């Protein structure tokens, strides 16, 4: 009963935020609301037993995406959007048509949380939940499915992150020789504000440590490469925000980031190639353990999650540096 | 290694991308791309030989049997497409060296080659997979890299084109995700073969019909099927030449293949044509595309934009064949899928040469091209004749097959529409030829062509279409086998 | 019906809102935010498919017997990452469009292109 009340409250908040996003015109407010939307969704995910997903949604959706939106708004110096023109009617019709089709579909969907839904009756459930301790041997079933059973999808996911990193680098990056630092007349944040400086110095080591914990503890609890990578990146982003972009660039030069992002993908693919060379199928971790399939699985999952973590960290920092380093855009200038 | 070819087909270009980023220098990055594309093509040919000899290949990644893990399936329905896509990848690699030098700034070239590697492997990944969700992942890989590839066009319109493609493409991808989710909710599995077994028992279920609808709309957006084509003309015309080649030749084709696989291989022809009006809607959309695409192409003043609208029209032929939902119709659709991929790639390659030497692809700048650049003109002419469907061209073979399929189903007015569309193609190809042949060229001579790769690519593709036009029986047999596999899977 | 399906319906309403924002607004950043809302709503739909009555998070422990299904979680983890990647590339394009056109309204940018074409 109490869960139902919390559910209703969260869903109501979610819908109100959604409507607010549609109606409000100040872009800064809308960006913050979208972060709040992600955070509320993360809470709902927790209620629906999706703890790994909630973790990722909070880190990526509420964290990283909001940073990117704010960065873009700063670069485009947008405050308020101009009046939406009269394309509301076709948009409304299309949205209503889609919604109607969806609700029509929902009538034949199995009920929420029904134990006899096809999803739960399929042999997949038994294999993942009952056989995975003997096949893979780690408690977090989501990690074993993510990294081992469906490890190839996760490989694709790492490649997607890598693609985003290099695409944004290609679009917004400037060479090291032309890096734009903040004009000298503005004091870096850390010199203006002692509280920020002290608190940032206290927090950042713990953030990084937590990221390492999440990386390696993903087998036993919610966590894994993606979440860890985003948290690690956010530690560095906090450093960049408080101590200045140049200081952060000294810690993580562009060449190193590029190399790490590539290395992450190559590590993941390399594990697959190694298993091929050892006589197994691509990403058949069992081969990595000598004779012991379970040890091989553990090693394989460790290595691929490490590859994921490295690539995601580097790519997220690359994204932030690309946006932050672009400087104030000059209207009317064509791309070079 | 032979047993692992299915996975190597995708993994090789995928791992080439970070290598491109690591090597940094443009020439080295190009060499990595070329090596990956060559190995890819070899791999596809080897897979083709294996499928001819032994039938369907199944590869369980991670050695987890399907449906517990992800499975790659290589059969008669996708092996011709793998060969086509990897051939176009190799063609792009040969074409790209000089073209990228000319159109992309050197500091970013290595990133550009990495994106090309990713786009190629994304397309191959969609074509070869046997898992419903895996299609989505590789679709997103190919889409993201495509957005970046397009955005580096010369003009600022390229940025807007890339953004519009991003928004529409992501909505399409999310629709696909919704469809996959609904299918999963009803069956509990993501493996295509497993789904094909479980779905017939669910015919009549509203969520299932909605799932098919969402998947159809999502992939239709990606394939630029009329009326969801709005992103395509800008994207194809503003993209740099090396990207246009691969985008126009392979991008839409793979999306259509994915729809064929879902619609016929997973959901089943019965659902698509008898229980739901999806096939009929596809027929209407295809006819509309044929007529409108070719008609709008007649009014274009820019060569690449003309080719883009022509693609919308030609995709209409493929969708019409698909909408017939018969073995003949599907075979004709598949045949035109392959043929058009080659024709368009050849034409865009020729357009790239024109851009390099003349600095513009506006039609009025092309006056007298036949005198100034005779070989390029000849390539464009052969490609254009193929678009019309003149006998002895690849276009004729596939249009004839489609006409036969329409006659077999007694769809006379559709046949009339097809002929009308060919007449329109005659008009727009005629316009181009008229400008190039009959107008007097300006005094300034075109720049020297200092590349071997570019004309080699254009001519190889054009000659291949000529060869397929003169003897199209081999390809027709492959297309028929593909149609049979799609219709027969799981039933 | 309402009790068993309300999760789906709320996710669907949010999808509609997101799709409406994408299509009706000309501001590029607003479009991307709408796209984000649309995608997150789809995630809500997927995750609600995996829940089971009296289940718990799929982390095996001797104290529990019923677990929610891990597969939708895995799929959505991938989808979240795909979503942020798309948003990042979209925002990069928006920044470049602003530099090239001086505006991030799609309509104004198209207008400026049209003016350029008319002047030529």
Q: Say what the pLDDT of residue B448 is.
A: 77
Q: Say what the pLDDT of residue B211 is.
A: 92
CA-closest candidate to residue A72, choices A336, A332, A326: A326
Q: Say what the pLDDT of residue A178 is.
A: 42
More confident residue, B76 or C120: B76
Task: Kindly state the greatest CA–CA separation across chain C.
Answer: 75
Stated pTM of the model: 0.94
Decide if pLDDT at A336 tops 60.
no
The residue of chain A nearest to residue B109, with distances taken between CA atoms, is: A170
Subunit contact A265:B68, Cβ cutoff 8 A:
no
Subunit contact C49:B178, Cβ cutoff 8 A:
no
Subunit contact B115:A167, Cβ cutoff 8 A:
yes
Decide if pLDDT at A333 tops 50.
no
N-terminal to C-terminal alpha carbon distance within chain C: 62
Interface test with A, best of B1, B7, B62, B131 (most A CBs within 10 A): B62
> Can you say how many angstroms the Cα of residue B345 is from the centroid of all Cα atoms in its chain?
9
DSSP label at B59?
E
Residues in chain C: 120
Q: Which residues of chain B have pLDDT under 50?
A: 490-491
Distance in Å, alpha carbon of C54 to nearest chain A alpha carbon = 9
Q: Say what the pLDDT of residue A334 is.
A: 35
CB contact C4 to B (< 8 Å): no
DSSP-H helix ranges across chain A? 2-23, 27-47, 51-56, 66-76, 88-106, 118-121, 123-126, 132-135, 141-144, 151-172, 189-192, 194-217, 225-243, 245-251, 254-277, 293-324
Q: Say what the pLDDT of residue B290 is.
A: 92
Give the pLDDT band (50/70/90) at residue A52: very high
Give the pLDDT band (50/70/90) at residue C107: confident
Residue C105, CA distances (Å) to A80, A315, B101 in order? 11, 28, 33
Decide if pLDDT at A184 tops 50.
no
DSSP string for B433-475:
HHHHHHSPPPSSPPPP---SHHHHHHHHHHHHHHHHHH--HHH
Query: For residue A202, how many other CB atoms are within 10 A of its CB?
Result: 9
Per-chain mean pLDDT for chain A? 87
Subunit contact C22:B174, Cβ cutoff 8 A:
no
Dihedral of CA B369/B371/B374/B379: which sign?
A: positive
Closest partner residue to B206 among A104, A110, A259, by Cβ?
A104
Residues 270-309 of B with CB under 8 A from A: none
For residue A335, the chain C residues in CB contact (below 8 A) are: 96, 99-100
Decide if pLDDT at A80 tops 80.
no
Subunit contact A76:C98, Cβ cutoff 8 A:
yes
Q: Say what the pLDDT of residue A179 is.
A: 43
Distance in Å, alpha carbon of C106 to nearest chain A alpha carbon = 11
Subunit contact B187:A122, Cβ cutoff 8 A:
yes
Q: Say what the pLDDT of residue A183 is.
A: 45
Q: What is the mean pLDDT of residues C87-105?
A: 92
Query: For residue B202, how many other CB atoms are within 10 A of its CB?
Result: 18
Q: Say what the pLDDT of residue C2 is.
A: 75
Burial of B180 (0-12, 13-18, 19+ CB in 10 A): buried
Decide if pLDDT at A177 tops 80.
no
Give the pLDDT band (50/70/90) at residue A190: low
Q: Say what the pLDDT of residue B287 is.
A: 92
CB contact B177 to A (< 8 Å): no
Count the helix, strand and coil residues of chain C and give each as a percent rounded to the nearest 5: 75, 5, 20
Task: Kindly state the tokens that stand for A301.
Answer: 């999952």
> Can you say how many angstroms the Cα of residue A272 is from the centroid of all Cα atoms in its chain?
23
Q: What is the mean pLDDT of residues A124-149?
A: 89
Close Cβ partners of C111 (under 8 Å, ≥ 6 residues apart): none
pLDDT tens for B289-309 read 999 999 999 999 899 999 999
Subunit contact A170:B144, Cβ cutoff 8 A:
no
Distance in Å, alpha carbon of B169 to nearest chain C alpha carbon = 10
For residue B64, the chain A residues in CB contact (below 8 A) are: 148-149
Q: What is the mean pLDDT of residues A191-206?
A: 89
Task: Kindly state the tokens that stand for C72.
Answer: 């939708």
Query: Is the CB of residue B250 less than 8 Å from the CB of residue B88?
Result: yes
The residue of chain C nearest to residue B150, with distances taken between CA atoms, is: C93
Distance CA B251, CA B221 (A): 12
Q: Say what the pLDDT of residue A317 is.
A: 95
Dihedral of CA B95/B97/B98/B99: which sign?
A: positive
Subunit contact A110:B108, Cβ cutoff 8 A:
no
Decide if pLDDT at A251 tops 80.
yes
Distance CA B98, CA B201 (A): 55
Query: Is the CB of residue A109 less than 8 Å from the CB of residue C35?
Result: no
Decide if pLDDT at A189 tops 80.
no
Rounded to two decimals, the ipTM of the complex is 0.95
Decide if pLDDT at A180 tops 60.
no
Distance CA A68, CA A48 (A): 28
């Amino acid at each position: 009963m109490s869960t139902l009340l919390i559910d209703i409250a969260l869903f109501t908040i979610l819908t109100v935020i959604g409507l607010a996003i549609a109606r409000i015109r100040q872009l800064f407010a809308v960006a913050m609301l979208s972060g709040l939307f992600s955070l509320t969704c993360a809470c709902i995910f927790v209620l629906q037993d999706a703890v790994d997903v909630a973790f990722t949604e909070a880190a990526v959706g509420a964290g990283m995406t909001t940073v990117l939106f704010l960065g873009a708004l700063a670069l485009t110096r947008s405050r308020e959007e101009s009046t939406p023109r009269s394309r509301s009617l076709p948009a409304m019709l299309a949205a209503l048509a889609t919604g109607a089709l969806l609700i029509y579909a929902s009538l034949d969907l199995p009920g929420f949380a029904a134990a006899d839904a096809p999803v739960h009756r399929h042999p997949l459930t038994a294999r993942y939940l009952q056989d995975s301790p003997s096949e893979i041997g780690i408690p977090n079933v989501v990690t074993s499915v993510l990294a081992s059973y469906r490890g190839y999808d996760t490989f694709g996911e790492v490649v997607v992150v890598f693609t985003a990193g290099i695409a944004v680098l290609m679009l917004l990056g400037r060479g090291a020789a032309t890096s734009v630092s903040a004009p000298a007349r503005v004091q870096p944040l850390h010199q203006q504000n002692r509280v920020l400086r002290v608190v940032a110095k206290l927090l950042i080591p713990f953030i990084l440590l937590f990221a390492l914990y999440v990386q390696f503890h993903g087998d036993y609890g919610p966590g894994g490469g993606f979440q860890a990578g985003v948290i690690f990146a956010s530690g560095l982003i906090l450093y960049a925000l408080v101590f200045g972009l140049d200081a952060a660039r000294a810690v993580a030069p562009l060449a190193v980031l590029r190399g790490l992002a590539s290395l992450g993908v190559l590590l993941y693919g390399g594990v697959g190639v190694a298993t091929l060379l050892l006589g197994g199928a691509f990403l058949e971790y069992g081969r990595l353990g000598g004779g012991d399939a379970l040890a091989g699985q553990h090693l394989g999952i460790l290595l691929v999650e490490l590859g994921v973590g490295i690539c995601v960290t580097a790519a997220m920092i690359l994204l932030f540096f690309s946006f932050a380093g672009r400087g104030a855009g000059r209207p009317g200038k064509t791309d070079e | 290694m032979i047993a692992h070819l299915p996975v190597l087909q995708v993994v090789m270009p995928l791992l080439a991308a970070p290598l491109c980023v690591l090597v940094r220098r443009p020439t080295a990055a190009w060499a990595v791309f070329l090596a990956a594309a060559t190995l890819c093509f070899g791999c596809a040919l080897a897979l083709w030989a294996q499928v001819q000899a032994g039938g369907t290949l199944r590869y369980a990644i991670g050695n987890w049997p399907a449906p517990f893990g992800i499975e790659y399936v290589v059969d008669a329905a996708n092996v011709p497409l793998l060969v086509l896509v990897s051939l176009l990848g190799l063609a792009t690699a040969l074409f790209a060296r000089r073209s990228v030098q000319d159109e992309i700034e050197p500091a970013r070239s290595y990133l550009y080659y990495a994106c090309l590697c990713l786009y190629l492997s994304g397309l191959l990944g969609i074509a070869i997979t046997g898992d419903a969700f895996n299609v989505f992942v590789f679709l997103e890989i190919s889409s993201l890299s495509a957005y970046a590839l397009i955005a580096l066009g010369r003009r600022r319109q390229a940025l807007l084109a890339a953004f519009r493609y991003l928004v529409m493409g992501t909505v399409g991808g999310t629709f696909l995700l919704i469809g996959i989710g609904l299918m999963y909710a009803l069956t509990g599995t993501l493996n295509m073969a497993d789904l094909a077994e479980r779905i017939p028992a669910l015919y009549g279920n509203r969520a299932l019909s909605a799932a098919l609808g969402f998947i159809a709309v999502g992939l239709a957006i990606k394939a630029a099927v009329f009326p969801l084509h709005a992103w395509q003309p800008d994207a194809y015309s503003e993209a740099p030449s090396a990207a246009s080649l691969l985008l126009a030749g392979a991008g839409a084709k793979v999306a259509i293949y994915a729809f064929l696989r879902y619609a016929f291989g997973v959901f089943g022809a019965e659902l698509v044509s008898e229980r739901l009006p999806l096939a009929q809607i596809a027929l209407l959309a295809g006819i509309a595309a044929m007529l409108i695409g070719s008609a709008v192409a007649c009014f274009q003043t820019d060569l690449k934009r003309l080719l883009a609208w022509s693609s919308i029209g030609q995709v209409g032929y493929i969708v019409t064949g698909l909408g017939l939902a018969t073995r003949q119709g599907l075979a004709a659709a598949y045949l035109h899928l392959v043929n058009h991929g080659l024709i368009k790639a050849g034409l865009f390659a020729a357009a790239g040469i024109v851009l390099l030497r003349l600095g513009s692809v506006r039609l009025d700048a092309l006056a007298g091209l036949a005198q100034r650049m005779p070989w390029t003109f000849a390539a464009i002419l052969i490609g254009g004749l193929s678009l019309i469907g003149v006998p002895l061209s690849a276009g004729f073979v596939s249009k004839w097959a489609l006409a036969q399929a329409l006659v077999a189903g007694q769809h006379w007015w559709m046949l009339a529409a097809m002929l009308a569309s060919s007449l329109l193609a005659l008009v727009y190809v005629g316009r181009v030829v008229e400008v190039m042949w009959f107008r007097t060229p300006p005094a300034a001579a075109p720049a020297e062509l200092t590349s071997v790769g570019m004309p080699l690519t254009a001519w190889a593709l054009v000659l291949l279409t000529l060869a397929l036009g003169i003897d199209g029986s081999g390809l027709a047999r492959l297309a028929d086998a593909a149609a049979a596999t799609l219709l027969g899977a799981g039933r | 019906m309402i009790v068993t399906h309300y999760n789906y319906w709320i996710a669907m309403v949010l999808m509609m809102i997101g799709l409406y924002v994408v299509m009706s607004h000309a501001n590029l950043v607003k479009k991307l935010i709408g796209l984000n809302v649309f995608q997150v709503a789809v995630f809500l739909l997927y995750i609600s498919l995996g829940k089971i009555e009296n289940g718990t998070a799929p982390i095996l422990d001797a104290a529990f017997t019923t677990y929610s299904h891990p597969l939708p979680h895995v799929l959505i983890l991938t989808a979240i990452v795909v979503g942020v990647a798309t948003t990042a590339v979209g925002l990069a394009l928006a920044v470049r469009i602003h530099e090239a056109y001086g505006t991030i309204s799609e309509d104004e940018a198209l207008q400026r292109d049209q003016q350029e074409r008319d002047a030529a």
